[in-house]
Each structure stands twice: as C-alpha cells, then as structure tokens.
Amino acid sequence: MSQSSLLSALIDTALAAGNAINQIYHGTFEVTLKADASPVTAADHAAEELILAALAAQAPGTPVVAEEQMAAGHAPVVGEEFFLVDPLDGTKEFVQRRGEFTVNIALVRRGAPVLGVVHAPATGVVYAGDVETAQAWRLTAGGRREQIRVRAVPQAGFTAVASRSHRTPATDRYLAGYRIAELVSVGSSLKFCLVAAGEADLYPRLGPTMEWDTAAGHAVLVAAGGTVLAADGLPLTYGKPRFKNPSFVAAGACVPRPPVA
C-alpha cells in the first residue's frame, strides 16, 4: 500500500473509531481507573479494538503500540517502523462531556512520525498530515478538505495553547518569556492541530506525556510547517524507553526556546 493510500485508510479508520466512541458518548457509560489512576471507559476499549483490527489488515506485520494494550501489559517489540495509537485522547474531557477528545493514529519511521491522523468525534473534524510530502489538511464534518499551514506570529503577539487538565506553574513560567496576546485552554491533541491550522502559535508541555498522546498531532504540525522540540533543543523523537516523552514545545513559524521543566 502506498503512503498516500495508507493515510486515506488511517483517516477512514479514525472516523470509524469516532463513530464507535460517539455511540457511547451520547449514552451512559461507566468510568474505571487504571493503575496510574487515569480514567478509562468502554469507548477507549471499543475504539482501540476497531483500530487494531484495521491496522492489522492495512499494514500486516507492522507493530502497533496502543494505549490500552500497553496498560494491560502488552508491549510489542518495535523496530524502525511502527504505529502509535491513542484510541481516545482526552478521556477526562470525554467523561466530563466537554467534547475536546480525539482519536490519534500515527506511523513512526526511524524515530519520527511521518503520517498522522487526529479525529475529533464530537465535531466530526479530521486533521491529517504527511510529513514526507509536507502536506497537511483538515476535513470538515461536511467532507470539505482544507489545506492547513502554520502562520507567521501576529504583531500583537503569540496565541498559546495549554492543556485544560494538565496546565502547571512551569508552563506559565515558560510562557512568561514570550509576548502572549492570548492563552487558550484546550484538551487532547487538538492543541497541536490549532497550531498546525494557523489558529495558534505555541504549545508548551512541561510535564510527562506518552508517545501515543503526541505522535499524530506532531505529524500533522510538522507536515504543516511547524516543529516539536524536546528540552535538548532537538526534535522530539519516538521509540524511547517505555514510550515516555520529556517536556517539549510545539511551535508554528517561530523558533521556540527549548522547554525546561
């Protein structure tokens, strides 16, 4: 399967997972806690099961690192190429019915995300990016495809996005080094997508995340002309021990300062 065909298949898979999530979201559901005290619902499991089955058909033999499988102790051995899947990023937003949750699917090759799909089931919007062709776009709920690109920083200053559930004093200290015109709190990987679409300029995350939280949004942003830097000032990489990320900053057209947690 060509890379463009695979990306189209990943979009279809994310949409199907989103439909499964919405069926549960608009009904009643129970919330349980995983070993790390993070919430999980039937929607997380239903979406992941669907995605794993689809990826096995689309790219047989390619390892898949998926959040709920990892939580259950099923960690695959990965090589130069593997998928990262967060079937329901922003479960806290899902539980609180705020709508800011996403389906994240990314293909990683030699430590860097090369394809990414971020789907927001509550709105029906899909963001997709192909890093190798430097093409990123947004699919509206009505099926309209819009090319997206990072913007030059407005003269009035940066629009920064921060986690709705995980904003910290360290984040505020980091942002104090910039001229911030607006600060927007958003859940899930939508923060990457706002920067990619030229609706924001900076997203610092000074605290731990997992690779499946970030890879899809990372791919969309880089395909749209942005960057994601770790604390060492180098691009954030994937396939790290336990798939755990350090602090990072995602940015549009500007060259950001490396984050220091």
What domains appear along the chain, each with residue ranges and CATH number? 3-146 (3.30.540.10), 158-251 (3.40.190.80)
Dihedral sign computed on CA atoms, order 200, 187, 28, 18:
positive
Q: What single string gives the DSSP state of each residue in 180-202?
A: EEEEEEE-TTHHHHHHHTTS-SE
Strands 209-210 and 135-139: unpaired
> Could you report the per-residue pLDDT of 58-95, keeping only the tens digit for each?
999 999 999 999 999 999 999 999 999 999 999 989 99
- Are 195 and 229 contacting, i.e. CB atoms less than 8 angstroms apart? no
pTM beyond 0.85: the answer is: yes
Taking the CB of residue 244, how many other CB atoms lie within 10 A of it? 10
* SS3 (DSSP) at 136: strand
Mean pLDDT, rounded, for 195-218: 96
- At position 253, the amino acid (one-letter code) is A
Residues 66/89, Cβ–Cβ less than 8 Å: no
Whether the per-residue pLDDT at 108 is higher than 90: the answer is yes
